[in-house]
Amino acid sequence: MKRIYNYIVVGALALAATSCNDSFLDRIPTNDLNDVAFWNTTDDLEAYCNGIYNEAGNNGTYKFMVGFHNATYSVRNYGPYGREMMSDNFVSTDAGHSWAAAIAAGIENQPEGNPNYGSWSWTLLRRINVFMENYDRVQAETSAKLPYVGEALFFRAWFYFYMVQTYGDVPLVTKALDTSSPELYGPRTPRKEVMAQVLDDINKACEYLPAENWGENRLTKGAALALKSRIGLFEGTFRKYHNLGDEREFLNACVEASEELMGMGYSLYSTGNPESDYADLFIMDDMSACSEVIFYRKYAAGLLRHRMAGYVVNLRDGGTKDFVDDYLCIDSDGQARPVGLSQEYSNDTPEQEFTNRDPRLTQTFLKPGNEASAALLNGGNAQKTFPRIGNMTNWPTPTGYHAIKYYSKELDKMGYGNETSDYALFRYAEVLLNYAEAKAELGECTQEVLDKTVNVVRGRVGMVPLTTTNPEMDPKYAKYGISSLLVEIRRERRVELCFEYLRYYDLMRWAWGEKLKERPLGMRLEDADFDNPRYDGAITKGGTSEAGANAVYVYVNPEDGKQYIDPYAGTNYAAERRSFDPAKDYLRPIPSSAIAANPNLEQNPGWPKGSEK
């Protein structure tokens, strides 16, 4: 049912070298692997597909199957937290994250080559297309060859889906090109045509891939259905909220894939402990037996290790107040309400705002006073002065909200590059939430739908069930013109799936990009807090005569006079400089080198063409 993905070393096949020429596609490898000496047995198909896995996992090039990255590549660029900084969930004042902060602030420059957020490399696609043109030369039963075809089509669907998410229209190539092929300098193919091919490819992958495990490290039907569910929801809602039309085809594809997968025996991971089960899911050293994980990336000593926690505790990153405020309050009457509607939430000081909230809040961010987690962050010594802000020593955060999702509970695994926890590329909770959202967008979300999706996810942490009749509109979201039920489904997605590469693309598909213009804030910090023994004189107030190198700037809410950390004050990403252009910023720019090389390749609206500034 589930399969794992490792780095696979397959000798010459994995190393069939490519280099860039002056076209927008990569130069054809000198070894085409299409001679009769190779395409003979299903062992050849397996070896070739291993090379596809390996190429797709080339983290320095492709960014859709990266997991935690590894101990060599920079997790700050490609790991879950790095990608979250493009959204409204997370901020960073670390120079290594400037690319993500620039995207969120709307001040990104056009990249010359492969950008951190995506790729303009076509090596993987060519490898897949070579396979599709040659696999049938193998003399074997069709049934023995189809699983490998399913793998190739899965990766082609995923590749093009990610390209469309990033760039919109892209050149559609479904055959192996050579150096004389005119398609090397072809124009971009309309999004609708590309996504039709994506849907066709993933449908065939769902048909061809076995439902059960069929070989070490290989994809299964469950993974294909999970990808189809994600594709259908993204494209369906993008088409709806960007007025492209034909959204129902993709929303129905999401529903169809999700329903089939929901009947395959997956379930959420739970030991009956709502205070830790959510957090524990993400620090497993072996996900092979986890009923929730559909497809994952394997890490292990001697194979592949990462440094996820090691990076985050060393960098200046943190969650936003806006995100923390989206965790529901649990009032004394037993009902779950947003911060803006809670009968009892009145004080958002660091000590109090974690009280009586969705249990996932303290499993995602460090609660002040949580000495066990603080000790891990501080090398084994209990540290009672968290949160650490400004330029305080020992792992400060610019917002006061220390992220702890993915943090091991074992100190010896917290070392820089020593971590071996696996990463779930697809998990069942996402499929359930995809299904609920698609049904809501189709106008088909009943209580029965909620009870087998959102309420199953909430149930793991002991949260109050959602009903179709009781959600009162959260004042925070009243201006967006969607139903209160859809608000709550989207909230559930933000909370449950945070730091899993999804939030930025959720904002893009919902046409909520202008939310990125809002001032990112941190925790509440009043004047008296600067003298709090917790900070031991280690911070001063920015903009005052006492301000020094350890200055922390605050924003005063004009409505109630409360002060909150303003992590980007005085920087290029400050609220006064933030922008979002709906005509331009829902798609990323094509690298200037690609535009300059191909006269038929048009740039996305609003972005420079070629070397134009």
How far apart are alpha carbons 569 and 559 in whole angstroms?
Answer: 20
Closest CA relative to residue 57, chosen from 210, 217, 200:
217
Do residues 450 and 466 make contact, with C-beta atoms less than 8 angstroms apart? yes
How far apart are alpha carbons 60 and 46 in whole angstroms?
Answer: 24
Q: Strands 554-556 and 336-337, how do they pair? A: unpaired
For residue 144 the two structure tokens come to: 């023995």
Q: What is the mean pLDDT of residues 427-450?
A: 98
The amino acid at 521: L
Task: Concatenate the DSSP letters of all residues of 404-417 into one string.
Answer: -TT--S-GGG-STT
Query: If pLDDT is split at 50, 70 and 90, which confidence band does 124 have?
Result: very high
- Which backbone phi and psi does 315 adopt, to 5 degrees? -105, 165
Look at residue 269 in the predicted model and tell me its pLDDT: 98
Centroid of chain to Cα 469 = 31
Task: Concatenate the DSSP letters of all residues of 453-467 into one string.
Answer: THHHHHHHTTPPPP-
Model confidence pLDDT, tens digit, residues 238-249: 999 999 999 999
> What are the residue ranges spanned by the domains of the chain?
3-73+109-269
Could you list the beta-strand ranges (E) of 94-246.
none
How far apart are alpha carbons 114 and 110 in whole angstroms?
Answer: 10
Model confidence pLDDT, tens digit, residues 260-293: 999 999 999 999 999 999 999 999 989 999 999 9
Model confidence pLDDT, tens digit, residues 600-612: 999 999 998 865 5
What does the buried/exposed string (b/e) look like for 43-61 if buried means 16 or more CB atoms within 10 Å of the residue's CB?
Answer: ebbebbbbbbbbbbbbbee
Closest CA relative to residue 364, chosen from 465, 463, 500, 567:
500
pTM for the whole structure:
0.92
SS3 555: strand
Query: If pLDDT is split at 50, 70 and 90, which confidence band does 76 have?
Result: low
- Level-2 CATH architecture, domain 3-73+109-269: Alpha Horseshoe (1.25)
Residue 403 pLDDT exceeds 80: yes
Query: If pLDDT is split at 50, 70 and 90, which confidence band does 415 have?
Result: low
Model confidence pLDDT, tens digit, residues 158-212: 999 999 999 999 999 999 988 788 888 899 999 999 999 999 999 999 999 999 9
Query: If pLDDT is split at 50, 70 and 90, which confidence band does 2 have?
Result: low
SS3 297: strand
Look at residue 8 in the predicted model and tell me its pLDDT: 39
Which stretches of 242-343 are DSSP H helices? 247-262, 277-281, 308-314, 321-324
Model confidence pLDDT, tens digit, residues 340-381: 999 889 788 888 899 999 999 999 998 887 665 555 555 555
Name the residue with tokens 């935690």.
Answer: 68
Model confidence pLDDT, tens digit, residues 493-505: 999 999 998 999 9
Closest CA relative to residue 259, chosen from 106, 89, 453:
453
Model confidence pLDDT, tens digit, residues 18-50: 333 333 344 333 355 556 678 999 999 999 999
Among the listed ranges 104-108, 312-316, 460-464, which one has the minimum average pLDDT value? 312-316
Q: How many CA atoms lie within 13 A of 270 on its CB side?
A: 15
Look at residue 381 in the predicted model and tell me its pLDDT: 56
